[in-house]
Structures are given as C-alpha cells and as structure tokens.
Structure 1
C-alpha cells in the first residue's frame, strides 16, 4: 500500500508523459483488443481472438510435459550428460548451476519467469541485457574463478549460499543468538568469516554499479526531459492523444487521495515495528528512512522500467544502508528492505497498471478504487496461502529433503534468507567494509556513476548516430542481475526468443508482428498459468509429483557443477582434488 503514495507523487511523469510507454502493457492491450474488438476473419486466416485461443490451448496442453511428465525439460544440459564424471565440464555445461554452454529448455516458464516476457521487451533492451550477461558470465566470471579470485575455487562457481573458509555450508546458528535474534560476536570470532561464491561477490558489486549508473543515466539522458515534463505537469500541457482524451472525458484522481492514503499507511507501517515487543527490531526512524529511500529512487527506476521493460531493484542498497546503521539485527534488515525495496516495486506495478488504464481509457477514479480493493483482497489471500503452504508442505524450501519433481524449492526466498545473513546478521562492515573480505566491491559505485558518461559524450559528438543513444549502461551493467535466482539457461532462452521475435520477425514480417506478437505472449503465459494451477490442485496438492524416472527431477542432472575445484576441499558428493 505504501507504493500507492509514490505512484501518486510521480504519476504525472510516469503515466501522463507520452515518453513513458511501459512495453509490458502492450501485451495486455493486445489481449483486451483481441477479446473485445469485433473483427471479421479474413479468408484462410484467424482473428486475433482465434489466434489467442489456439496459442492458449496449445500452451496449456503442452505445459503438462514440464509440469508433470518431464520436468527436466526446463533445463537440458547435454555437456553434463556426455562428461558425467568431470567437474570442469559440468561447470561449463550446466544450465542451472554453471556457465550453461550448450544448455537450453523446452518450457515457456523457463523463458519468461525471471526477466519478463521477451516478446514485450524491445530489441535494443534485449541486446543491452544480453551483452551485459555475456560480458559478466563468459568473460569476468571465468577469469575470476580460474584465477582463484577471493578463493573462488573453494566454492561453487554460481551459488547464492554462504560458506565457511573450508567450503562448508555456513552454520548460522553459531553466529546468531536465537533468544534475541542478534549477532553473536563471540561465536563469530571462534568460527569463520562468511565466504561467497565468486559470482555472488561480483553480483553484489554489479548491483552497486547498476544503481549508481541508473541515477547518472537518468540525470544526463532524461534530466532535461524530466524538467520539461515537470513544467508541463504543473501547467497541465501534455499533448499526446491519450492524455487529451483522458483529460477530456474523465476527472483525474485528486492528489489528496494519494497523500491521505500514504499518511495512513505510514502510520500503519510503524505499528508492527513499535508493537509486538519490538520483535521486528526496526525502530520507527528505520521505517521513515526506508520510506525516504523508496521516495528518492522510484522516479529513476520507473523511467528505466517504463522505457525498457526491466525493473532495477533497491534490495542491495537498502540492505547496505540499514546494515551499516543497525548491524547485527537480521529481522530489522529484512523489514527495512521490505518497506524500502518492495514498496518501490509495488509503486512500479501500480504505475504500470495506471498506464494500462491510460491506454484503455478507463476512468482513473474507478481504476484507483478497484486497485485499492484488489490489493487488500490479494494481500490477504497471499498471506493466507503462504501460511498454509509453510504449515502443510513438508520440507518446503529445502531442496535436499524434498521429493523428486517437487516445485517447492523457493529459489528467490533462498536468496532473501542468505541476504539476511550477509547484511543483517554479520553486517556489511564485516562483508564489504574494512573488516570484510570484499571491500574492493565498493569501487563499483564509482564505476557505475561514470559508466553512462562515455555513451552520453559519444551521443553528443555523433548526434546523427541514433544507435548510440540506445546503449543503456544500467541495463548492460545489470544485465546479469537476475542471477543467481534465475539461471544461465533462463537468460539464453529469453535472449534467443526475444531477438528472434523483436528483431528478425519484426524486420521481416512487421505486419504479422504488429498483429500477433503480444497476443502470442499473452496466450503462452495464460496456458502455462492455467496448467500450473490445474496440476497443483489435482495432483501436487495430493503429493503426486509425476512418474518416477530420470526426467522427473526439476534439475539439469549436473550434480558436479556445484563442486569446488580447489585442492583438498572436501564436500559431500564431490571428488576431492589433489594438491
């Protein structure tokens, strides 16, 4: 609900402005037009609604394969199957835990689950992201790993977990007082510093750089436009057709609605922090600081999302700030991260929906009320569902104890948990400060601030070369930002599909692309979603996870990809390399 406040403050810039077009909304607009427009079918062809239904039914029918019969098609890594006993080969070929050379998938959810639909992402954004991904995963990461940067070979090459100096999983209970949920300095001194996989180390550095690059990119490339929009917003002089029609036909949502809601919700946000015996650890000033952080970053993050379909997160900077100010308190770190980062993400979703209403000419007041009611209902359902799953699914979020084919592996939540250890329990001072192993990662802030300037200079020197302005440094630097929750195979599938449809098909079959591209994406998404729901309520809810065979594992069968390659490091299930 906090996000509604930020959305209300910045809607003039991110909704009314014709320059903020929100690519993902084009899927929804195309679907709504297909469902509601009266269209005459051409001879030998299909109407858009018929095309949607064909895609939906096909996607729905096929999705039983990755959902139930053959989950392994979510990542097929042939290199691992050929070299079954080689750690190096599996590191190179694993699509889920390695570099993913030769890995691919036959599942739409692998394509679109982490990076939004590639069909809705503009070709220039796909290129920027894939360039950044290739640079990080195939240049920076191999060099860092095989040169043993930060003792990289003691740990998996790509992992979101935390480790001891000898490569074992970190036992958090030894550095956390479970009575007070605070950092145990004595236990930490007698145990081990926290070690990260080399990719996880550089992913944090790249997160620092991405956030800094976002700010400088928005200022130097969009600063003048935003200033002009601010003047236009005050004078109410936007001139595009959508804005004129909305202004002519409907009353806007009064600004005081947003401010009143924001004031009420800020008060409600403080209640659980100050109440319940302060079990959440975060004091009232921490809530206000998180709110200020969200307010500051919503506009630049919104500009990037509205023009590229890629959302950059505040999670790392939120954890860093509260980790320095209020170290040793993991619950405070998580709560601060939620109020700062998640409220910004909700604001972006709310603005995106408002832009959809802008395109579809939905009365703004009706849109606001429906979203408000929907949010209350949805939040209650989410909470109830989460509580139900946590209390009924045995070993939920613990892949080592779950049955084969179980979907309850929780990759994103696993990262959230490990981040609470890094930033909340041990704290950034002992990770990225003078007491930690990774203090050099702070230089990435400087790299990020400076990165957009060469592109800006080139665009001024060669103004006739429009392609230069399409180089987006926040996207390039943050190209691999969805890893390690996403996997390398997700990126390759997403990039290939995105380039095929938004570059090849767009150029050669522009008429087909304009008519069917976004409807194709909607049909694929809907088919996967409905089959997932059907599979759960009819099969998985009863503990039926598919036939017992090799392909029933939600895995790419590369068990050695997570093994260390440093001599003398012993990890269960892995060979020990000799000195």
Structure 2
C-alpha cells in the first residue's frame, strides 16, 4: 500500500491483519507452548531429514523472486498499480514443485575437488522447500522503496543521477535492516512470547496446501480452478488494458452533466468524490489497497467508514467553507500550488546549481498550498500515528507488557517446544554474520551519501542519525508487531525530523526517510520471516541464505526495471505529454515527488508552523491520541457487546492514507468486492470461501500481470497503444472535476467564475 507521502510501502503477503484479543497464556510442562493460538495452529513436530536448500528451492525461488520483483516494479509506474503478493507464488509453485519432483532425474552430481554432492531431485517436493520458495518470493514482492528516489530525480526533477550511486542506495537501504534484526533476534524470534500472529495465517495456508486433496465430485480441483480463473482473467484484461481503458473508471454523473463543475466534482471517480462511479477492471480494485478477498471483514468496514467520513463529510464541508482557500485549487489533487491557484513553480524556489531552497526566491514568490483533501491527508496521517500508539497502549498495553516481561525473564530460561526442536536439530546463525553485514552495508551507505559529488545530499551525520532512529525504534515497534500485528510507521517522523534539522534539500529528506524508515521495516520483515521459519522448522542458516539472496536479487531486478523504464519510455510520469491510452502515469511517484517538495524543499517549518499555511494540522496529533479513548471506555462499560471491540480508531483515521495516489473509485470498488467476498460469501458460503478464496485472488492477479507484461513487450513498447477512439482515454471523462471554483482563478480548460 502506498503511504500518505507517496512511494510504495514495503508489502508482505496479502494476509489479513487481525487484532487478537483475550489472549490465553498457559504453562504446561508437556510440549510447553505458552501462547494458546500458536499451540492450536503450529504442529509440535519436525522431520530434520527433509531436504531444504534443493535445486527446486533455488530454481523456483529465484524465478518467483525475479518475476514478482519485475512485475510489481513494472506495474508500479502504471495508472493502476497492480501488486502481486507472495501468496500467488505460494500457490503457483506448489504444482510446479510436484511436477519437477516427477520429471527431474534423481542422479547425484559430485562437485570436483570437494566432498559436496547434490541431486536435481532428492525426493518428493516437501513443505520446507515450499516455505523457502515463498520466502524467496516475498523478497521480490515486497518492493524497494528507494526506487522512488531514483524516479523523482530522473522523471520529475529531470536531473542526472549516477547509476552506481542509485544502485548502492537501493541495495544499502534494503540490507541495512539485517543488522538490526541480528541484534534483536534472540528477543523477537527465539522467545515464545513474541509470537507474530500474522504468521499463523501463513502456517495454516501451508498446512492446507500440503494436505491430501480429494477433489469433490463434479467440481474442479484447486489447480484446475486456478487455471480456469487465470485464463479468464488473462483474456479479459485485454479489454481494459488495451481496447477500452476507460472502463477502469466509469463516472455516470459526468456522462450526464458534461458542462458543469459541481456534478463532476461529485461524480468523478478519479478526480472527485466518486458518487455513482464504478470500475470494470479488477486491477483498479486491487491496485492500491491490496486484495479485498484477503482483507478481514472488520478491517473492510472500518476502512469504508473512514473513507465515507473523509470523502463525503470532511472534504465537502471544508471545501465549500473555503478552508485554506480550498476553492482556488482542485477538490482532489496531490499537486502543489501557489497563492494564486496556479501549479507551484518549483524552479522559482530551487537553486539549480546547489539543488536546495533559494530563500530569496521563495520569499519573493509564494507559500506552498495544497488541495484541501491533500492537506487533511497529512493531518490524518498525524492522527493515525498518534491513534496507533494510543490504541495499542489502551487495548494491548497489558498484554504487551506481560509478554515482554515474560520474554525478558525467560531469555535464558525455559524453551517452548518449537525452540527446543530448533535447538536440537539445527545450528544457529552466528551473530558475526549479522554484524559483518551491518558494518559492510553501513560503509557502503556512507560512500553512497558522501561520494558521487554528494548527489544524494545526505551528509554523514544525517545517515548516522537515521540509523540511530531505526535502531532505537526496531525493538519497541517489533514488540508491538510481534504481539498485536500492528506496525507503527516511521515515515512521517523521519521526514519531519530531517525537514526541521536539514531543510531545503529534497533528496536529503527522502534519503534520510528511506534509511531511517525502511531499514527498520526490513528488519521487522526479516524477523517475521525468521519466526515463520521457526514455526515451520526451517534450518536458520538456510533461512538466512535465502533471505539474503532474495533481497539482493530483488533489489537488482527492481533497480534494473526502474532504470530501463525511466530511460526507454518517452515522457514517462508526465501524463500531459503521454499519448492517449498510455498507462505510464506514475501516480505513486507523483505523490512521492510532491512530498519531497513539501517536506524537503519547503520543509515542515514553512508548512506546518505559524510560518506556513497549515500550522493547525498539528492538532490532529492530539485528536488522534484521544480518538481510541471513548471506544476503550465503551468496551469496558459494555464488555458483552463484542462489536464495539471491532471499532478501530487507527484504521478509521488512516483509511484514506492511500489517497492519493488511490482514488475514490478504487475505494468504492474495493469495498464492494470486500463486502461481497469477505462478509457475504464468508458467512453464507464458508466452505466455498475456504476452498477457493485465496486461489481466486491469486489467479485474478496472475492473469492481469501476464497480460499486462505481454501487451507491453508485444505492442505498447513499439508505440502501438490501441485503436484511437473515445474509450482509449485512461480517464473517467470528468475534465471539469479538477477546476477551481474561486472567482478569478484561471486554469486551462476551465471556466472562470
């Protein structure tokens, strides 16, 4: 999912994020496992004779990693930002692994001059191979946040960037977290009280996939069902991707009222409130919010409540009250503006030689203005951050403190059954492996920042400060995530800190944010995967090797894909200059670019204090901190009403954090699909849901991905973008929705009031 300041947040599998309440802790001597949920889900057995790092593991793992990294980065530049999760690879590689086990030769090969030998086919395809292949795939699916920096430099600021510096930035930001993970591994992985609830869903899915399947009479097997849906999705996507892109966002109101601003503001699914808009393109449903089929019902409802309050209450109220001169600007936009309502001319405030803020130019020009929706998006970001801390403290504070205290007390004490099996059967990863990576990557990071004529603008002390922040937050945020499934993001904190300390430098701001925020996120992702391997009894050294190799490979693929697209597609990320039907609009990177202006060039001092326009937005921190309190009090007063506990203030306040680049039509269709599959189908046809839901989600996404890539290489890369007609426009035909309504403001293609 994209965050409020653009870029792509690293994503794992599309597993539902659940809030676990009424946690039961037991202390039995036989097969000791103190967390009841883990005891019920994870088998307390192991077969150490299973081959793990086999040829099949490396082949299918590397292929999955490369494919997912390429496809997700490829689609990241397109209007509908499709995301393919590792769940897809988890499902697809199972029949492939079994097929390889049937057809590959069993002959043993000996490596000359060594005692090492291997077989292409060491036996039946097993669960541990499948887990490692999925870990490989997740490295490719999680994305590379630093690629956004490369994109805004080349496509938006139109400046040169040394490719070696860019490659080092990508690699170091992805791998720095391995050091933090090694430092906290014993506490956050080995402790039975740090249980990482999300991994239990992955364990359940692995067990379900490897159980003996008996095909119901008259029905398709899971593999047959996957193939059928994949073929249908592949064939259908030809229509919205090539022949009729306009069906990705259909705005009924705009088709009726073609010459009026207000109806188009209300009806536009891409540039307005989206009333009456819909989409006939699955990629528009899953592009920014993840797959609705795998989102839990309570999360869907909370998100839709937040979307409704923001889009249909707060936005029209503030716009028509003209808060912050809202009517000078579009009602919904991620762009920046000056005091007269014109696009902010960044060249007037940015020194072309030093690439930092030109103070005289800024003072002689204008303060920075945002659309009212975009401004309140930042306010809601502040509120969501504060609400997460408050919510976790109120609802999970006692549990977290209890589990953390037990984890500390049990650091060298009693092992649960899973730790006992791991210690008995497998050697641990030496600590010096982590420390060596930390030292080497930190040295490369210093060189990337200080070398190459300091193109990244971040000084050595800034890198150290980013690392200190990441190190400081990894343990407390990791404890929260390992016990409640909630991760507190550091993106707003990091860009705010460097914005105050080192203002006026856009690349320094985004580089600091990436080193400080993503290294912590990578560390927690590494620890989460390590805990999954712990539950599935994967040798720790094999886990380490796979994660390290997957990270390096995925970073190289994402960087290469990005560099290739940025240097081969003319006018990429410039919608006004692209030909009709071209999908290369870079909606996420457009937000990331504007965030670099807001936090980097202008800086928070000139934006969110009395020196700027939006100083009052800081009150959202207070509002967010207080929001969970009444919900908590109601749960205490009415404990029998279970539905009250499902009201989640952080989810409601953070519901629209993906807007922009996500639009109203994305939320509307995501909500409809989510309610249909995960509330109606889940309750009424639970057996069908259990058997087919994840497979359906994976097949739909896979079909879109294959057709999208095929179209690009066969037609679009040669400039063949489909037949020229009204439906070729990748827009909802609501041109007046972006018009200002304040008197005297002139905008191209808009009437002047």
Q: Kindly indicate whether the alpha-carbon contact (under 8 Å) linking 1:27 and 1:519 is maintained by their aligned counterparts in 2.
A: no
Which of 318, 321, 341 in structure 2 is aligned with 1:144?
318
**1:560 has 2:715 as partner:** no
For 1:77 and 1:305, how far apart are their aligned partners in 2? Answer: 40
> For the structure 1 residues 399 and 464, does the alpha-carbon distance in structure 2 shift closer, same or farther, using more than 3 Å as the test?
same
1:213-228 equivalence runs, <5 A: 213-228=387-402
Asked if structure 1 preserves the Cα contact closer than 8 Å seen for 2:230 and 2:702, the reply is: yes
Cα distance in structure 2, aligned partners of 1:478 and 1:44: 45
What does residue range 444-455 of structure 1 map to in structure 2 within 5 Å? 444-455=620-631
| Cα distance in 2, alignment partners of residues 310 and 522 from structure 1 | 24
Question: How has the CA–CA distance of structure 1 residues 398 and 271 changed in structure 2, closer, same or farther, with 3 Å as cutoff?
Answer: same
1:153: which partner in 2?
A: 327
**Alignment check: 8 A CA contact 1:13 1:230 kept:** no
Give distance in 1, aligned partners of 2:741 and 2:608: 25
Q: Which residue of 2 aligns with 1:532?
A: 708
Structure 2 residue aligned with 1:398: 574
What runs of 5+ residues in structure 2 fail to find an aligned partner? 1-174
Q: Which has the larger radius of gyration?
A: 2
Residue by residue over 1:120-154, the C-alpha shift from the partner in whole angstroms, topping out at 9 and shown as x without a partner, is 11111111111111111111111000110000010
For the residue of structure 1 that corresponds to 2:198, the secondary structure is coil
Residue 184 of structure 1: aligned partner: 358
Question: How far, CA to CA, are the matches of 2:462 and 2:616 in structure 1?
Answer: 27
Does the CA contact (< 8 Å) of 2:194 and 2:479 recur in 1? no
Contact 1:115 1:310 in 2 (8 A): no
Tell me the residue number matched to 1:485: 661
Decide which of 496, 507, 521 is 1:320's aligned counterpart. Answer: 496
Describe the SS at the equivalent of 2:745. Answer: coil
Aligned residue number for residue 369 of structure 1: 545
Q: Does 1:573 align with 2:573?
A: no
Alignment of 1:309-458 (within 5 A): 313-354=489-530, 356-357=532-533, 360-458=536-634
Shift of 1:530: 1.5
Alignment match, 1:88:
262
Cα distance, 1:140–1:336 mapped onto 2, change above 3 Å: same
Structure 1 residue 266 displacement after superposition = 2.5
In the TM superposition, what is the alpha-carbon distance from 1:264 to its structure 2 partner?
A: 3.0
1:389 deviation in Å? Answer: 1.5
**Shift of residue 464, structure 1, vs aligned partner:** 2.8
**Corresponding residue of 2:248:** 74
Tell me if 1:174 matches 2:343: no
- Cα 1:471–1:249 change in 2 (3 A) is farther
The residue that corresponds to 1:200 in the other structure is 374
Pick one of 676, 679, 682 that aligns with 1:503: 679
2:438 is the alignment partner of 1:272: no
Corresponding residue SS for 1:176: coil
Shift of 1:296: 4.5
TM-score by length of 1: 0.92
- Give the C-alpha shift of residue 519 in structure 1: 1.6
Verify: 1:212 aligned to 2:386, yes or no: yes
CA distance in 2, matches of 1:417, 1:465: 45
Q: Which residue of 1 aligns with 2:403?
A: 229
1:268 Cα deviation from its structure 2 partner: 2.3
CA distance in 2, matches of 1:308, 1:62: 40
Q: Could you say if the C-alpha distance between residues 375 and 488 of structure 1 is closer, same or farther in structure 2, counting changes exceeding 3 Å?
A: same
2:326·2:371 contact (CA, 8 Å) conserved in 1? yes
Find the residue that maps to 2:253 and give its secondary structure. helix
User: Could you tell me which of 295, 301, 309 is aligned with 1:127?
Assistant: 301
Q: Which moved more, 1:311-320 or 1:523-532?
A: 311-320
Q: Distance in 1 between matches of 2:376 and 2:403?
A: 37
Please give the secondary structure, in 2, of the residue aligned with 1:182: coil
| 8 Å Cα contact 1:208/1:317 also seen in 2 | no
In structure 2, what is the Cα distance between the partners aligned to 1:241 and 1:105? Answer: 50
Contact in 1 for aligned 2:446/2:463 (Cα 8 Å): yes
Instruction: State the number of aligned residues.
Output: 575
Do the aligned partners of 1:28 and 1:522 also contact (CA within 8 Å) in 2? Answer: no
Give the Cα separation in 2 of the matches to 1:239 and 1:376: 33
Contact 1:167-1:569 at 8 Å conserved across structures: yes
> Contact 1:6/1:295 (CA < 8 Å) preserved in 2?
yes
Counterparts of 1:241 and 1:573, CA distance in 2:
69
Matched, 1:22 2:198: yes
Q: In structure 1, what is the equivalent of residue 128 of structure 2? A: none
Matches of 2:189 and 2:310 in 1, distance apart?
31
Q: Counterpart of 2:280 in 1: which secondary structure? A: coil
Paired residues for 1:247-326 under 5 Å: 250-298=426-474, 313-326=489-502
Matched, 1:45 2:45: no
| Aligned equivalents of 1:444, 1:469: Cα separation in 2 | 23
Q: Which has the higher helix share?
A: 1
The 3 A distance-change label for structure 1 pair 303 and 472 is: farther
Greater Cα shift, 456-465 or 406-415: 456-465
Q: Distance in 1 between matches of 2:387 and 2:678?
A: 26
TM-score normalized by structure 2?
A: 0.72
CA distance in 1, matches of 2:714, 2:207: 30
The Cα shift of 1:17 comes to 5.5
Q: Distance in 1 between matches of 2:703 and 2:505?
A: 43
RMSD: 2.7
